[in-house]
Chain A
Amino acid sequence: MIVSRDLYVTYKWRQEPVLKGVNGTLEGKFLILGPNGSGKTTLFRAICALTNITSGEIIIDGKNVSELYATSGILSTNFQEVYTLIGSNVYDLIGLYIDLSNGDSELAFNIIEDLGLSSKFLRQRKLSELSAGQSKIVCTALALAMKAKHVLLDEPFEELDPAKKGKMVKHLNDYTGVILANTHETWLLKNLQDWGVFFMFEGILYGPLSVRDLLKAEISLVEEPNPLLKVKISNKMVNIIRGKGKGTLLTSLENLDRIYELAEETK
């Protein structure tokens, strides 16, 4: 279980915080949905202890993340920057990280080959020489194959073609541990119906809700009784409500960056 308590992250002194008091308990499989720049990736970096926390704390299985060292099997992530320990070819790099984490190399190569990359190809390339999509496949497969209890996946569908996105969804559904995946794409909700969802807007975490509720949910910019969720976007209250044909269907947005356009249209 990952618990975030009143988490603030500021990158530069006296600048507005990127995360503004994030509170949440993350257990099971959750999507964190939010537009680009909302703080999703920063939240993941803070959970991984890859960025300085201004105030608040992250607790993973009862331990403060800042005190965790050499805790193999507790957390993995698909950030490319954490897979640059040595400058070897990708095949050897996978072997190294699997060795360090007592992971499952068969699972890593199964996922990678299923998504179209051969071992022969991986022996000829360094991670930095792969395309963005290929790199995303390798890093996500590695994160899953490290057999950690908590897997944080930053935009796992980004840069993948639709067929590969479908295959990636299947691998995520097959995984038995805790997965937190952040994305700004809403089209994939129908494929992840057993998951929970948090929203992130302007550095604040909202939720959780279930994907099943969200599939029929609508976005309304007028005051509604009993909304599923109320979120603040550009100083405007936006209601996520059960589908009544009054608002814009959330899944019709394709991605959440469009929510700002909706907010603008109603000004």
Chain B
Amino acid sequence: MTKYLKMNAKSLLANPYILFWSILFIEFWVFMWAYIFGNYIPQVEEAVRIYSATAYGNLLMLSLSGAATTIASSLLYSSKSIRYVTKYTRLSPSRFLLENLSSSLIVLLTISAVMFVSVVGVFFARFGFVILPIDAIGLAFSIFLSTLFMYALSLFLNFLIVILRAPKSASFISFLPLILAFTAYASLWIDIKNAVYFSPFNCIVSICYYYFSGQIPPTGNFLMQGEKTFVDVGLTITSLVAWSALLIILDIILLKKMRGVGVEEIRTA
């Protein structure tokens, strides 16, 4: 390993956009879920557990997508450097991907841990129960899958901007993870049925919900009363793995093809 892994992780962890959008902003929503949206939740451990699982799955998805947006943006600004170091230093394209992936996962897993601690802590303060996940290893696995997908997506979006030479669309494309995450957030009130298997964002929510609560998640309508259909958890895991694998393969191909976009080109676009 080179110094890059450690320095990139350090740089991302100190990034003000990640600290604000992925932690501070989402912390606000943790309190909203606990003290405003949670007013109708009965003080029964099982009910609070299901509610906590819904909150954690959705807030984690939003938090990680916020971080993915920042990672995509930072990769765009360093695209010329990525091209240069992968050609003329000992950081080969595959080694760069491995070290960039590792450092980004450190950051995304740290954010996931902060979200977990704050949901458990704030919900304890609100409801008086310490709600821990039913399957901690399963939840850790689902968090890992979620972070892997978000990383692969952010890298793909960055390469897309560079290959298409579309710095004018950089802001919009970089924000796509967050935009899509908020679209998936709508499933709290809408049943999206089988579309859940095609939406990696909804898969993240479903898998986290499953391992946190031990219950099979619905395909939507989490916060609404009425009849619900339930997901096939195995299929959601398969879908998320397939999305991540597809994006990583595309990332590897695009990394060798892209020549970078200059910082000035992005600023003046």
Contact = CB atoms under 8 A, between A and B. Distances in A.
A172 B169 CA distance: 41
Interface stretch (A72-80, A175-183, A218-226): A72-80
Contact of B4 (A50, A84, A86, A148): A86
A148 B84 contact: no
Interface in A79-126: 79, 81-88, 92, 95-97, 99-102
A74 B90 contact: no
B91 interface: yes
Nearest to B88: A75
B263 A100 contact: no
Main secondary structure of the interface of A (DSSP, over half): loop
A68 B74 CA distance: 25
Contact of A51 (B78, B86, B259): B259
Interface residues of B, number: 32
Contacts of A52: 259
A70 interface: yes
A82 B81 contact: yes
Given A88-B11, A100-B4, A81 B260 contact: yes
A97 B259 contact: no
A76 B93 CA distance: 17
Contacts of B77: 84
Contacts of A75: 87-88
B259 A82 contact: no
B262 interface: yes
Contacts of B78: 84-86
B104 to A, nearest CB: 12
A169 interface: no
A238 B83 CA distance: 39
Nearest to B77: A84
A48 B88 CA distance: 9
Contact of B87 (A69, A81, A84, A95): A69
A148 B110 CA distance: 38
B239 interface: no
Contacts of B85: 82, 85, 97, 100
Contacts of B92: 69-70
Given A79-B80, A85-B81, A71 B87 contact: yes
B8 interface: yes
Which of B80, B83, B89 is most buried by chain A, counting CB atoms within 10 A of its CB? Answer: B89
A56 B81 CA distance: 24
Given A69-B256, A70-B86, 18 more contacts: A48-B84, A48-B87, A48-B88, A52-B259, A68-B88, A69-B92, A70-B92, A70-B95, A72-B88, A82-B81, A84-B81, A85-B78, A86-B4, A88-B10, A96-B3, A99-B2, A128-B263, A146-B89
14 contacts: A69-B92, A70-B87, A70-B90, A70-B92, A70-B93, A81-B81, A82-B83, A84-B81, A84-B263, A85-B82, A85-B85, A96-B4, A96-B7, A100-B3
Interface of B: 2-4, 7-8, 10-11, 15, 74, 77-78, 80-93, 95, 256, 259-260, 262-264
